[in-house]
Amino acid sequence: MISILAWRNLWRNRRRTMITVASVLFAIVFANTMDALLVGINRQMMDSMVGIYSGNVQIQHRDFWENKSLHNTIAPPEDLTELLDTLPGLRGFTQRLESFALASAENLTRGVLVVGMQTEKEKGLTHLDSKVQSGTYFHGNPGDAIIGEGLAEYLEIEPRDTLVMLGEGYHGASAAGKYHICGIIRMGSPDLDNNLVFLSLDDAQLFFAAYDRVTSIPLFFEKQAAEPSFITTLNASLPEEYTLLPWQQMMPMVTQSLGLVDAMRIIVLFLLYILISFGILGTIIMMTNERMREFRVLLAVGMRKSKMAAMLLLETSVMALIGAVLGFLVSYPVVAYLREHPISFSGRAAAGWESFGIDPIMPTVVEFSIFILHTLVILLIAVLLSAYALNKIRCLQVVSSKR
C-alpha cells in the first residue's frame, strides 16, 4: 500500500519529481567528472615524472644511493636479465651507467652528470628521441653524445661541435674522452638540462673503464598506479648486494607534490559535497513545503505519522536512486570523452607545465571505483537529507490538521 502511494505521488507532480531527479543527476555527473579529472592530473604527474627518467623502481647496488661511486656498480648476471624479460606486468627495463665528470668546450667548463644508456631501449621506454630539440638522436656511431639544452647554452656549443670530458673511472682509473655532439635535448627539468650528458652504454663503460658494469637497472611497469605482484618475487631473487629502490625514495619532492595534489582533491571533493548537499536540500525543502497541506489532510483522515514518514522516505529514495542511475550513465561517456580528448593548455600555461617535464594536458581516468563511490555517497546524502521532511511530518499536530 505504502509503495503504491509513493509511486503514484512521484508521477502526480512530474515537475517536482524531475527537479529532484535532475539535482541528484547533475550532482553525480559533476562529482564523477571532477574526481576523474583530479585523479587523472595526479596520474599524469606521476607518469611524467616516473617515465621521464627514473622508472618505477631501480635495481642498484645496496650502497649506491647513499654513496654514488663507481665502486658501487653492479655487473648484472645473464640470468637476471633473462628473468626480467619474462616478468608479466613489466613494460621494459634498461641499463645505465651514471657518474660525474668535467665537461669542457674551448675555455668553458662545467661539472656534468654522464649517463651511459642503451639507446634503443631508452627510445622505447622514455622516448628520449622525442625530446631532442636540435641535431639527431643516436644512430649507433661510436663517440656520439647528446647534451642538455642548458649545458649547450653555457658551453656555447651546437650539434657537430666537440665536447671534451675528464673524470675518475672505475677503481681510480683516469677517464678522458672527446665526443661529437650529435644532438641537444630538453628534459623539462632545469637540473637535468643544465648538467646532463648522454652517451651510449658502451662509450660510457669505455670512458669510465667500467667494462660490463652499470649503476642501475630501471624497471618500467605497465600500470603506473599499482605495484605488480612480481616485485616480492624479484626482490627475493636478487643477489645479496643488490636492492630494489622505488621511485618514491628516489624522488621525495615528487612524492610530496603528489601528496599535496591528493590533499587538494580531498578538500575539493569535501567542498563539492557541501554544495551538492545544499542543492539537494533546497529541492527537498521545496517539495516538502508544497505538500504540507497534503500531509495535514492525510493526518486528519487518520493516517499514522510513521506511514507518512515511510511513504516520504520511499519517495525520496526512489527519486535519488533514479537520479543516481542516470547520473552514472551520463557521467561515464563524459569522462570517457575527456580521456580521449583531454583538456589541453597553450601559451604560458603550457610552458609552465612543460618546464616541469609534464605534458600540458588534463586527462581523466575511467575507473568504476570513482563512479560507484560518488554515486553511493550522493545517494546516501539525498536519503539523509530527507530527514528534514520527516521532521516536518513529526511536528504536525492532529488538532491543527483537522481545522
pLDDT (tens digit per residue) in 34-59: 888 888 888 877 777 777 778 888 99
- Choose one of 188, 223, 250: the last residue of a domain: 250
d(CA 80, CA 98): 20
The rounded radius of gyration (Å) of the Cα atoms in the chain is 31
| Per-residue pLDDT at 350 exceeds 50 | yes
Q: What is the pLDDT of residue 81?
A: 85
Residues 88 and 11 in one domain: no
Q: What is the pLDDT of residue 145?
A: 95
Distance of CA 347 to the CA centre of its chain: 23
Residues 143 and 177 in one domain: yes
Residues 269 and 392 in one domain: yes
- Choose one of 250, 269, 297: the last residue of a domain: 250
What is the domain count for the chain? 2
Q: What is the pLDDT of residue 138?
A: 93
Residues 162 and 82 in one domain: yes
Residues 29 and 78 in one domain: no
Residues 239 and 143 in one domain: yes
- Phi, psi (rounded to 5 degrees) for 93: -145, 160
Q: What is the pLDDT of residue 353?
A: 66
Res. 401 pLDDT band, cuts 50 70 90: very low
Q: Mean pLDDT in the chain?
A: 83
Residues 101 and 240 in one domain: yes
What is the average per-residue pLDDT within 125-144? Answer: 90
Written as nine digits, the cell of 19 is 527537479
Indicate the DSSP class of residue 187.
-
Residues 67 and 183 in one domain: yes
- Choose one of 232, 250, 268: the last residue of a domain: 250
Q: Domain range spanning residue 379?
A: 2-50+255-401
Task: Kindly give the interhelix angle for 78-86 and 230-237, rounded to the nearest 10 degrees.
Answer: 170
Q: What is the pLDDT of residue 204?
A: 95
Residues 205 and 298 in one domain: no
| Per-residue pLDDT at 225 exceeds 60 | no
d(CA 115, CA 117): 6
Res. 150 pLDDT band, cuts 50 70 90: very high
Residues 37 and 139 in one domain: no
pTM over 0.95: no
Q: What is the pLDDT of residue 358?
A: 67
Give residues with Cβ within 8 angstroms of 213, minimum separation 6.
70, 73, 74, 75, 97, 170, 205
Give 274-292 pLDDT, tens digit per residue: 888 887 788 778 777 777 7
Residues 350 and 277 in one domain: yes
Residues 19 and 59 in one domain: no
Q: What is the pLDDT of residue 352?
A: 67
Q: What is the pLDDT of residue 402?
A: 47
